[in-house]
Amino acid sequence: MKMKDVMERYDYDLPLLDALNDPELSPDRRVLAGATMGVCLGTAYFAVSEMEEAFAQLADDDDHDRRHGEGYLAMEAILEEQRPFQMRLWHLMYESSLNQAVGDLRWLKMVVYQRAQMVNAVRDAGVNDRYWTYAEGREGNSAAELMAKVTARR
C-alpha cells in the first residue's frame, strides 16, 4: 500500500479522538479534546492560543493583585467578541482554577498544533486534501445561525 493511499483518507480529528478516549488523561482534557473535534484546523489553533494567553495573563494579574491588567483586558475582549469556539472553551474552563486552565489549554494547544501540522504530511504524500468542518458538512441551519439572524434584526 502506498503512502498516498493511506493519507488520502486521513482524519485530522484522530489525535483529538485519541485524547478523548485516553483513560489516563484527566476528564477535563478529554472533554476539551471532544469539544475541539470538527473545528477548522487554523481556527482551533489560533483560538486555543488566544485563550491560553488570556488565561495565563489573567493568572499573572491574580498573582500580582492587578484587578484590570492585561489578562483581564484580553479575556474581556474575547468575551465581547463571542466567537463560538472560544465561548465553548470559556464555558468549559471558567470554573477551573487559573493554573489548571492554563495547563489544560497549553496541552490542547500542543494537540491542535500537531493536528494542523498533519496538513504538511498529507501534502508531502501527494494528496490534495481539504479538511471539512462539521459546519460545512451539516445540512440545514444550526440554532446558533438562526439566533444570529434574530438578534441581527433587532
User: Which of 54, 101, 106 shows the shortest CA–CA distance to 75?
Assistant: 54
- Indicate if the pLDDT at residue 137 is higher than 70: no
What pLDDT is recorded for position 10? Answer: 64
How far apart are the C-alpha atoms of 49 and 44, rounded to whole Å? 8
pTM value?
0.79
What pLDDT is recorded for position 43? Answer: 92
In terms of Cβ atoms closer than 10 Å to its own Cβ (0-12, 13-18, 19+), residue 44 is buried
- Indicate if the pLDDT at residue 6 is higher than 60: no
Question: What percentage of the chain exceeds 70 in pLDDT?
Answer: 79
- The pLDDT of 117-133, averaged and rounded, is 66
- Indicate if the pLDDT at residue 143 is higher than 70: yes
Question: What percentage of the chain exceeds 90 in pLDDT?
Answer: 60
How far apart are the C-alpha atoms of 36 and 78, rounded to whole Å? 17
